[in-house]
Amino acid sequence: MSKVALYCRLSVEDGTGEESESIRNQRLMLIAYAQQNGWEIYDVYEDEDYSGLREDRPSFCRMIEDAKKKKFEIILCKTQSRFTRSAAMAEIYLHEKFPLWGIRFVTVVDGVDTAKKENKKARQINSLVNEWYCEELSENIRSVLRKKMELGQFLGNYAPYGYEKDIKNRHHLVILEEEAKVVRYMYDLYLSGFSCKKIAEQLSLERIPTPSQQKQSRGQDLGRKLCSQWGASTVRKILTNPVYAGHMVQGKEQKISFKSQKTVEVPRQHWVVVKHTHEAILSEKIFETVQKTMEQNRRGVRRKEFDKDISL
């Protein structure tokens, strides 16, 4: 009796908010199909809320490792797109690695079966269609997000330090006074002659919680290492962010492509800037004064470096 691995996947790209129910439906369909064909179920691998373009899906990776070790002979999915929406990944696994490992790949709905040679062209067409779908969806989502940015809606996962998301409208920012006091204090210190590094040292000395510590205290999962000390770069970001003057600036980064999670910086002229979208923590005058002072200080540093180079 052949051993079969059942693989189920669903993500936001599939257009449903009922992930758990759909995963359950996939599982029941695959179990019934395996039983009809007299296959012994080795294990059920499930990835929820993961794009089919990603190869780092936890259960997917575990299944691939088990396939290498020949723990089963067949991988069964509802459709080829459940396994992957990447044409390159489909080609690598279905037509290179699986034959090498002695793995047969079968789907219930679209009739994919790598044991049938005449089936290959259909598999390759499926791969292209699945990838085109992701590309078109990505462009549509990017267009919608851009429109929301142009309307001044805040789209970040977390509100900037000094603000929180309005409970009545998560795309609108409201002042978090406890943190806003620290923001004003930082601007005052800078205007009194403190550098970004000195401000960071002063905040740490006074044991003022860092942005990441504040978020953690509110139960927000940052997914990265907690910073217990203020850094000059964090201070600089706060001192140069127009959000504190009541303006929304978004679209500073974008993904390299719909296939990648990596981002690149967007030229300043293409940023989305919308003024007066929320209550300001600082006056426009104070914010602009700090920007001019920082620019003067940068010029002074560059001048000193230039003079030093000339004297050498």
Give how far Cα 164 sits from Cα of 4, 145, 174, 221, Å. 49, 20, 6, 15
Q: In this predicted model, what pLDDT tens digit does every residue of 10-35 receive, in sequence order?
A: 875 554 444 446 888 999 999 999 99
Q: In this predicted model, what pLDDT tens digit does every residue of 185-201 receive, in sequence order?
A: 999 999 999 999 999 99
The reported pLDDT for the residue numbered 170 is 92
Q: In this predicted model, what pLDDT tens digit does every residue of 33-55 receive, in sequence order?
A: 999 999 999 999 999 988 888 88
Range from 140-144, 210-214, 252-256, 300-304 that averages highest in pLDDT: 210-214
Domain with CATH 3.90.1750 in the chain: 151-281
The reported pLDDT for the residue numbered 16 is 46
Six-digit token string for 245: 């003057």
Q: Report pTM.
A: 0.58
DSSP assignment letter at 272: E
Instruction: Name the nearest CA neighbour of 133 among 16, 215, 36, 14.
Output: 14
**What is the percent of the chain where pLDDT is above 90?**
58
DSSP assignment letter at 39: P
CA distance 174 to 18: 31
DSSP assignment letter at 119: G
Range from 139-143, 207-211, 250-254 that averages highest in pLDDT: 207-211
**What is the percent of the chain where pLDDT is above 70?**
83
Q: Which of 16-30, 89-103, 161-175, 232-246 has the lowest mean pLDDT?
A: 16-30
Instruction: Name the nearest CA neighbour of 2 among 96, 100, 106.
Output: 106
Domain with CATH 3.40.50.1390 in the chain: 3-137
- What would the CATH number be for the domain defined by 151-281? 3.90.1750
Domain 3-137, CATH among 3.40.50.150, 3.40.50.960, 3.40.50.1390, 3.40.120.10: 3.40.50.1390
CA distance 261 to 259: 7
Q: In this predicted model, what pLDDT tens digit does every residue of 285-309 receive, in sequence order?
A: 999 999 999 998 887 655 555 444 4
Six-digit token string for 275: 């003024």
